[in-house]
């Protein structure tokens, strides 16, 4: 099985605090720097779970872009798409002692991926296309995502979307995003409760996977408990869950998410 994932490949800077932030003073922490971004995380977990993954996106030609490019390739992910002269995106995640995280995102050149920069051969052997929700909330990458979805759908493949961010959905406009989703007709939509509430209407999805953190998931109304884990860092848990669901269904999704939260960082 080959899964294509379209979206961002970013430099993740993860800071796990040993105690609450001491404003205006020092706070000790453990840090990790490496490849990240919602789409790239899903691709890395797909390969970790034994399937083939192809990342489609625009990366920066700077030092950060070269670093994350090399790391994702080392994880067995095929990378396609243009390398731009601009700045690669960076995300800083502050992780509290309880594992909850807050992110500050700079997506760099990623949202500048244009439909005409896609090559249709990238999608001919993809059985599944996963779209990062971030790729639906900016232009021109939103049109690139729609073009990729059309190519995969025409060949009988599946399409999934992760809604990504309730805050960004509200800023973009729930009605605009709903209209985009109706055009995409995704087979699967991944969303947490805040994202579902931000949309404010029934999601156009063949299957809705509601992510509920330590409470597990709800798949088309059926609740499934989370796999127990000692939570170190929740960054990327939803991406691991999406990869597991695509590769092997709900149980593998929950197992992958549990593996992810038990470590520092979003990639396996």
Which domains does the chain show, CATH number per domain?
2-8+37-88+108-261 (3.40.1190.20)
**What residues pair up with 31 in beta bridges, in sequence order?**
15
The whole-number pLDDT of residue 144 equals: 97
Residues 6+ apart with CB under 8 A from 25: none
Residues 6+ apart with CB under 8 A from 201: 174, 178
Peptide bond into 140 cis (omega under 30): yes
- Contact predicate 99/124, CB 8 Å: no
User: Nearest-CA neighbor of 242 among 254, 233, 234?
Assistant: 254
The whole-number pLDDT of residue 21 equals: 82
The whole-number pLDDT of residue 165 equals: 87
The whole-number pLDDT of residue 201 equals: 73
- 3 state DSSP class of 117: helix
Which uninterrupted H or E stretch holds 88?
strand 88-95
Q: Which residues of the chain have pLDDT under 50?
A: none
- Contact predicate 91/101, CB 8 Å: no
């Amino acid at each position: 099985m080959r899964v294509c994932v379209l979206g961002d490949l970013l430099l993740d800077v993860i800071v796990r605090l040993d105690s609450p932030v001491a404003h205006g003073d020092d706070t000790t922490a453990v840090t990790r720097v490496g490849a990240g971004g919602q789409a790239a995380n899903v691709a890395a977990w797909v390969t970790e779970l034994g399937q083939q993954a192809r990342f489609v996106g625009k990366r920066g030609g700077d030092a950060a872009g070269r670093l994350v490019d090399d790391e994702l390739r080392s994880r067995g992910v095929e990378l396609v798409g243009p390398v731009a002269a601009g700045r690669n995106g960076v995300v800083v995640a502050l992780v509290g002692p309880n594992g909850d995280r807050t992110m500050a995102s700079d997506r760099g050149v990623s949202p500048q991926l244009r439909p005409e920069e896609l090559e249709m051969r990238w999608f001919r052997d993809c059985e599944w296309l996963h779209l990062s929700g971030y790729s639906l909330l900016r232009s021109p990458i939103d049109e690139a995502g729609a073009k990729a979805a059309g190519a995969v759908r025409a060949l009988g493949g599946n399409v999934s979307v992760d809604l990504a961010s309730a805050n960004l959905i509200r800023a973009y406009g729930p009605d605009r995003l709903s209209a985009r989703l109706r055009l995409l007709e995704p087979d699967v939509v991944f969303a947490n409760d805040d994202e579902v509430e931000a949309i404010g209407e029934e999601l156009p999805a063949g299957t809705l996977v509601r992510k509920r953190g330590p409470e597990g998931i709800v798949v088309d109304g059926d609740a499934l408990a989370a796999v127990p884990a000692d939570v170190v860092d929740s960054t990327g848990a939803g991406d691991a869950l999406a990869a597991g669901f695509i590769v092997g269904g709900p149980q593998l999704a929950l197992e992958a998410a549990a593996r992810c939260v038990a470590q520092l960082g979003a990639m396996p």
